[in-house]
Every structure is written in C-alpha cells, then in structure tokens.
Amino acid sequence: MKKRSIFIAISLAIFSSMLGVGIISPLLPIYAKTLGATGIQLGVIFASFSVARIISMPMIGKASDRYGRKIFICSGLLIYAIMSIGYVLSESMLGLLIVRFSQGFAAGMILPVATAYIGDIVPEGQEGKYMGLFYAFFFAGFGVGPIIGGVISDAFGIDFAFYLMGGLNLIAFFLALFLLPTSETHRPPPQQKSYLEMLKESNVVKGLFCYRLSTAGARSIFACFLPIFGGINLGLSSSAIGMLISMNILLNSVLQVPGGRLADKLSRRKLIAIGIIIDAICLLLIPLMHNFSELLAVCILSSSARAFAIPSAAAIATGEGRKYGMGSSMGIFNMAMSIGMAIGPFVGGWITDAIGVKFVFLFAALAEVVGIALFAKFTGSRKSPS
C-alpha cells in the first residue's frame, strides 16, 4: 500500500474516533454533576483517563516499534467503542471512574501509535507538513463533536450522545482494520532505550516533555472547567458551550496545515514559544469575559496561536523518533500530554472547591509560562529548523 493511502486511512480513522470523543466533551462535566460530583471528584474522573494512558503508553509505544502498529490501533479503537456503553450504565462516581479509566487505557493504544505510524512514512524535511495535516484531521473530528454533542443532548438526551460516541469509534475500528496494511513499514529503533534514558540523554526530549506536560495540563483545565464557568457563571446552554469548544478546536484544525508548512520553513522553537505565550494570555482573559461573544473571541485567538505550535513540536518529536524509535518518541511525547491532563483537572478541581472556578484559568496560564520557559532552556542550543 502506498504511503499516501496509509496516511489517508490513519487520518480518517482518527477523525471518526475523535468525532465520537468530542461529542461528549462538553457533556461529561455536566453529566458527572447530575450524579453529584464535587469539583475534586470531577477532576479525579477527568484525570483517571490520563492516568490510564500514562500506564498504557510506555508499554504500547515500545511494543509497536517491535511488533507493528496496526494491532494496537485496532485493539484500542474496539475497546474504546465497547466501553462507551458504560457511561449510560454508570449510576455512581465509581462506575463513571471505571469507565473513564478503561477508555483512557484504550486511548493509549490509539493516538501515540497513530502518530508513530505517520512518523514512519513522512519524508525528511516535511515533518511539519505531514504532522500538520494529520492533526488537522484529529482536531476536525474533535471540533465538530462538541457541536453535535450539544445539539443531540438538548434534543434527545445525553444517553444518545454516549451511544453515538461508541458507534463512531466502532466505525474507526473497521476503517483501521480494513484499510491499513497487515505488513507494515515501520523501522526498528536503532537505539532501544527506556524513557528515562531518553530524558537523560536528549535535551530535545526534555524540552518537548516540559512543553507537552504544561500545555496539556492547561488545555485539560480549559476543557474540564470552561463548561462549568460558561454554564454557571454566564448561564450558557449546552449548545452554546458546545459551540465555544468546537469553534476553538475547528479553527485549530484549519490552521494546522499552514502551521505545519511554516514549521518546515521557520524556526520551530520560535513558533512553539510564540504560540504558547499568546495562549497563556488568552487563559488569563477568560475569567474577565461577560458573555458568549467575548468568550468566543478569546477562544478563537487561543486556538489560532496554538495551531502554530503543535505541528512544530510533533515535527521535532519525529526527528527524535528516527534516533530512538518512532513508537518510543511519540510514546514519551504523548505520555507527557497524559501526565499534564491527569494533573490539570485534579488541581483545577481543588482550586475550584477552594477559591472558585475563575482561578483555575490563572493556574493554567502560569503552567504554560513555566513549561515554555523550560522548553526554551533545554532546546536553546539546538539549531534551526527546530
């Protein structure tokens, strides 16, 4: 199978999967609240997804370098689809926690392995272009989802949204099963090393880890607590909240392509730094907003800024993958994201219960500033285009 066909197959599967995940993103915090979740409990439920990914990613990333990518992508999508039904069956915080944890474990088989698959086939010097295109599919699915989820919840009830998430991930499973080749072209890692050894040896890996950890923590706070802020403080409907999240992500999707092309021409380090600094400013502005229009404007600016950072970071990670194995490189890159997504909601829940939801966005902005400072420090000696 030609590399172009492999790229399209993976991207379509990821699009369908993320469409299903995006459908429930504005609904899960509200659904958990109806079951009596406190701020801390809500944070734990969101964090459990990422904790499970932290457990699965180290094993799956390295295993995919040895045994191939397809088996892990297909297995993860199938488990994710089956466990979607568990949301409807959950009647307690414990049940919701178990379902969320199980899906998180399955998710550890999907995104990092899919990005490693893309890294295997991307030509040298075009890492930004290919990663930008891939993440455009990723964010397009996740961006359309909240709009559909908000409308479906208002019209048919939240249970239907959970069933739809499961169905879309099942479609993604069949796309991967039938469209991806059984014989894969991944390259065995020239240096099989542990994640700890990679962090000790490579300043680039250290910098990427800090960047991914801090931005993921900030974005998980955004996803978890923007619906609470918009619903309680501004009185927005589920549809309006879904629209906010979707516009934020869809614009990010559209701009991934030019962002990826710029990553192959300009300094990737500078694109990352500028994008994250602007995003941190936007997070600081969120508590000062008074209505839907103001909040939408901030979300648009935030999304535009981040779109020029993500392809650059993924392109740098691809370069490291050629040294350590693409599965290992993408595994540690996405594991940092999962750690951030686990810490963010938990700390955000504690802050919400202690001093109010508005202050979680201040914490998120500070986390991004610290993360980008560490990224700049560790990668300072690395030459362009990184």
Instruction: Look over the chain and give the mean of its residue pLDDT values, rounded to a whole number.
Output: 83
Highest mean pLDDT (candidates 30-44, 59-73, 148-162, 288-302):
288-302
Is 328 within the bounds of a domain?
Answer: yes
Is 385 within the bounds of a domain?
Answer: no
Range of the structural domain that residue 136 is part of: 3-182+189-378
Question: What mean pLDDT is predicted for residues 44-69?
Answer: 80
Q: What pLDDT is stored for residue 218 in this prediction?
A: 92
Is 33 within the bounds of a domain?
Answer: yes
Is 384 within the bounds of a domain?
Answer: no
Is the Cα dihedral 229, 233, 237, 241 positive or negative?
Answer: negative
Domain count, the chain: 1
- The whole-angstrom separation of Cα 68 and Cα 51 is 24
Cβ burial 165-200 (10 Å sphere, 16+ → b, else e): bbebbbbbbebbeeebeeebebeebeeebebeebbe
Is 171 within the bounds of a domain?
Answer: yes
> Which CATH number belongs to the domain containing residue 8 in this structure?
1.20.1250.20
One-letter amino acid of 352: T
Q: What pLDDT is stored for residue 182 in this prediction?
A: 67
Highest mean pLDDT (candidates 271-280, 333-342, 351-360):
271-280
User: Is residue 185 over pLDDT 70?
Assistant: no
**Which H or E run contains 87?**
helix 85-89
Is 373 within the bounds of a domain?
Answer: yes
| % of the chain beyond a pLDDT of 90 | 18
User: Is residue 324 over pLDDT 60?
Assistant: yes
User: Is residue 210 over pLDDT 90?
Assistant: yes
Question: What mean pLDDT is predicted for residues 67-91?
Answer: 86
Higher pLDDT: 267 or 241? It is: 267
Is 288 within the bounds of a domain?
Answer: yes
Is 123 within the bounds of a domain?
Answer: yes
Higher pLDDT: 260 or 53? It is: 260
Higher pLDDT: 3 or 109? It is: 109
Question: What phi and psi, each to the nearest 5 degrees, are found at residue 84?
Answer: -60, -30
pTM (2 d.p.): 0.77
- The whole-angstrom separation of Cα 214 and Cα 217 is 5
